[in-house]
Chain A
Amino acid sequence: MAAERLSKSLSANLDRLRRVYKQCDDLEMKDWRYGPDLKHRAASVHFKTLADSGTNYMKSALQDLSNHVIGPGLDVTPALIRAFFGARGVSAESASLESEWAAADRFMLQGYSILLIDGWDQALCFESKRLETRPVAEPETEPVVQGPREGTVENLQKNVGMIRMRLQTPALKFQFFRAGGHSNTMIGYGYLDGVVDPALLAEFERRLQRCKGKGDIIDTSFIEELIEDSPLSPFPQFRYTERTDVAAASMLGGKIVLLVEGSGSIMICPGLFFDLLQSSEDYYQRILVSNFIRWLRFIALLIAVSLPSLYIATSTFHTELIPTVLLLAIVDSREGIPFGAFVEAVIMVFFFELLKEAGIRLPRNVGSAVSIVGALVIGGSGDQRRDRVADHDRRRRADGHRVLCAAAVQLVHRPAADPISADGARVDARWLRHFARLPVHLAPSGHPYLARGAISDANRALEGGSVPRYVDSHQAPRADPAAEAAPFYLIHRCGGAA
Chain B
Amino acid sequence: MIRRYATIGRLVLLTTLLGPLLAGCGDRAEIPQRGFVMGLALDEAPEGGIGLTVQIFKPSQNIVGRGKPEKAYINIKTDDESVIEAVRDITIHLGRKAQWSHMRIILVSDALARKYSLLRLLDFLYRDHEPRLTTHLLVTKGEASHYMDTAPYIENSVSQQYFLSEKSSDSMTGKSVSANLLQLALESRSPSAVAKLPYLYERDSLGESAPTVAGAAILVDGRLKEVVPAKLLEGVQLLDNGYKNGIVEVPCSAAPAAERVQQEDSVEVLSTKTAMRVRPAGDHVHLVFRVKAITALSELVCGQTLKPKGGAGAGAADSEGDRADDERQHGLAAAKAA
**Partner-B contacts on A (CB < 8 A):** 313, 315-320, 324, 327-328, 330-332, 334-337, 340-341, 383, 386, 389-391, 395, 465
Identify whether the interface residues of B are mostly helix, strand, loop, or mixed: loop
Q: Name the contact of A313 in the complex, choosing from B23, B101, B102, B130 (C-beta under 8 A).
A: B23
Q: Is the CB of A331 within 8 A of B59?
A: yes
Q: Is the CB of B36 within 8 A of A335?
A: no
Q: Is the CB of B32 within 8 A of A328?
A: no
B-chain residues with CB within 8 Å of residue A330 when the two chains form the complex: 31
Known A-B contacts A313-B23, A317-B23, A319-B101; the reply to A334 vs B28 at CB < 8 A is no
7 nearest A-B residue pairs (beta carbon): A335-B59, A320-B101, A317-B24, A324-B102, A334-B31, A332-B59, A340-B30
Q: Name the contact of A319 in the complex, choosing from B25, B31, B60, B65 (C-beta under 8 A).
A: B31
Using CB atoms, name the residue of chain A closest to B103.
Answer: A324
Using CB atoms, name the residue of chain A closest to B27.
Answer: A317
Q: Is the CB of A341 within 8 A of B31?
A: yes
B-chain residues with CB within 8 Å of residue A332 when the two chains form the complex: 59-60
A-chain residues with CB within 8 Å of residue B32 when the two chains form the complex: 331, 334-337
Return B291 CB to nearest CB of chain A, in Å. 36
Q: Name the contact of B28 in the complex, choosing from A316, A324, A390 (C-beta under 8 A).
A: A316
Q: Is the CB of B61 within 8 A of A319?
A: no
- In angstroms, Cα B60 to Cα A386, docked, is 11
B-chain residues with CB within 8 Å of residue A391 when the two chains form the complex: 66
One digit per residue, 1 when the CB lies within 8 angstroms of any chain A CB and 0 when it does not, for chain B 203-236 equals 0000000000000000000000000000000000
One digit per residue, 1 when the CB lies within 8 angstroms of any chain A CB and 0 when it does not, for chain B 18-39 equals 0000011101111110101000
A-chain residues with CB within 8 Å of residue B99 when the two chains form the complex: 319
Give me 8 A-to-B residue pairs in the complex whose CB atoms sit less than 8 angstroms apart, sorted by A's number.
Answer: A316-B29, A316-B31, A317-B23, A317-B28, A320-B101, A332-B60, A334-B59, A335-B32
Q: Name the contact of A318 in the complex, choosing from B24, B59, B72 (C-beta under 8 A).
A: B24
A-chain residues with CB within 8 Å of residue B154 when the two chains form the complex: none
B156 contacts A by Cβ under 8 Å = yes
Known A-B contacts A316-B30, A334-B32; the reply to A327 vs B102 at CB < 8 A is yes
Return A282 CB to nearest CB of chain B, in Å. 34
**Partner-A contacts on B (CB < 8 A):** 23-25, 27-32, 34, 36, 57, 59-66, 72, 99, 101-102, 104, 130, 156
Q: Which of A320, A324, A331, A383 has most chain B Cβ within 10 Å?
A: A331
- In angstroms, Cα B32 to Cα A327, docked, is 12
Q: Name the contact of B30 in the complex, choosing from A318, A328, A341 (C-beta under 8 A).
A: A341
B-chain residues with CB within 8 Å of residue A327 when the two chains form the complex: 36, 102
A-chain residues with CB within 8 Å of residue B104 when the two chains form the complex: 324
Return B34 CB to nearest CB of chain A, in Å. 7
Using CB atoms, name the residue of chain B closest to A383.
Answer: B63
A-chain residues with CB within 8 Å of residue B28 when the two chains form the complex: 316-317
Return B33 CB to nearest CB of chain A, in Å. 9
A-chain residues with CB within 8 Å of residue B65 when the two chains form the complex: 465
Using CB atoms, name the residue of chain A closest to B31.
Answer: A334
- In angstroms, Cα B32 to Cα A330, docked, is 10
- In angstroms, Cα B24 to Cα A155, docked, is 58
B-chain residues with CB within 8 Å of residue A319 when the two chains form the complex: 31, 34, 36, 99, 101-102
Q: Which of A317, A391, A395 has most chain B Cβ within 10 Å?
A: A317
- In angstroms, Cα B105 to Cα A138, docked, is 61
Using CB atoms, name the residue of chain A closest to B100.
Answer: A320
Return B132 CB to nearest CB of chain A, in Å. 8
Q: Is the CB of B156 within 8 A of A390?
A: no
Return A372 CB to nearest CB of chain B, in Å. 22
Return A326 CB to nearest CB of chain B, in Å. 10
Q: Name the contact of B57 in the complex, choosing from A320, A331, A336 (C-beta under 8 A).
A: A331
- In angstroms, Cα B72 to Cα A336, docked, is 15
B-chain residues with CB within 8 Å of residue A383 when the two chains form the complex: 63-64
- In angstroms, Cα B65 to Cα A337, docked, is 19
Return A85 CB to nearest CB of chain B, in Å. 59
B-chain residues with CB within 8 Å of residue A336 when the two chains form the complex: 32, 59, 61
B-chain residues with CB within 8 Å of residue A334 when the two chains form the complex: 30-32, 59
Apart from A320-B130, A327-B102, A341-B31: 4 A-B pairs, beta carbons within 8 A: A328-B57, A328-B72, A335-B32, A336-B32
A-chain residues with CB within 8 Å of residue B66 when the two chains form the complex: 390-391
- In angstroms, Cα B130 to Cα A465, docked, is 40
A-chain residues with CB within 8 Å of residue B30 when the two chains form the complex: 315-316, 334, 340-341
Return A218 CB to nearest CB of chain B, in Å. 32
